[in-house]
Structures are given as C-alpha cells and as structure tokens.
Structure 1
C-alpha cells in the first residue's frame, strides 16, 4: 500500500480525522491530505519534539501555521488542542503520523485511529 493510501483510507477515510500527514523521521513528507502543508521548520520541530517532549509541552506544537496547546507529550505520542479541535502525533520506527480532528469529533474517537495505525506500522518495521 502506498503512503498516500494510509493517509486517505486509514486516517481521513475514517471520517474522524480531518487532516493528516506522514513524515519521515529523517525528513520529508511521505504523504499528506490535500491542503495540509507543513513547513520545513514545522516538520523538523515535530520530529524533534519526540526527543524533547518537555519543550513541546512548554511551547506547544505548530501544524500548517496553526498553534496547538500541548496536552501531553512523551517519546511516542504528543496530543494537542486548539479550541474544540485537536492534534495527534505518533512516532513509529521510521515515521511520524500527524493528524488533526475538528469538533464535534473528540479525542477519544480520533486518538485510537492514529495510535492503532502507528502500532501496525511499527509491527511491519516502519
């Protein structure tokens, strides 16, 4: 399956995720939903946030020009909030899944979708 198919089918296709991207930990966007453009600086900051979760917690995360308040951050998952909307970032062995959801979707509906895809990708070596 192509990386774009993971974004289109496994994330956006669920109806719970509004925007998504898969970033390579070594750099670059592997796939993204239409119109979801992360700057080079944002991509680097997202990857770096997993090695410095305290900084992500203190400063928030920026995705496609939108700043999210960081609810929690560790070396696997970062959860952000902006008003009624939210962001879920999950690191795999080689990639970072970046997903946003918009109200009325809530974190308990969106988070398992992203976390389960990350578990699958880790299981197959990515």
Structure 2
C-alpha cells in the first residue's frame, strides 16, 4: 500500500497574492520564491518539529474568530518576537501564548482574515 509521508504544501486563495506574500516576508521573514510561495527545507527546521494533519469537527471554534474553514500552523524560532512583529504589521493577536511540553503556541489573524497558529517547538 502507498502511504502519505508528510505535508507537501499548504495552498489557499486570497484577494491579493503579491501583497499578502510581501506582508509575510516583511513580518515573519519568509523567503518568497519566483512562484510567490516559500519552500521550507527540513534541514532549516528545529530537530524536534514535525507536521500535523488534523481534521477538526465542522462545529469546532478552534479557528475562531476567523470564519475561514482552515488554519495554518507555522514553525517559528522565537514565538514572542514573531507575535510582536506580526502585530506591528497590523495583525490581530488572538489569545495569549500557551505553553505545552512540546512547545509554545500563539495565534493571530492576518490582513486577509486567516487565523495563523505559530509554534515554537520545545
């Protein structure tokens, strides 16, 4: 049996692709490629990080206050600083930082209303 080996990408629609890509480049340091996306290489990630595929119940409020049916999780190297950067760029922070044995989490709503979860592996 063939099996899926990991997340190959996250793709979503937005109103202004170039503007949103540049916002993420300015406020989270994403290196935008020629196609307008970012390639995250495993060698650049913390050794204790991993990808999650996780369906949620259709009535879940975990993605709130966004009304979008998805949420993107990005691995960061400094959660507190990353949250300050996106807030300075106009994002709305959602809740406070939460600590777990596998890392720290924080959330924000980007300029197009997408809820983004930031994870600093611990």
TM-score scaled by structure 1? Answer: 0.31
Greater fraction of residues in helix: 1
TM-score scaled by structure 2? Answer: 0.32
Instruction: Say which one has the larger Rg.
Output: 2
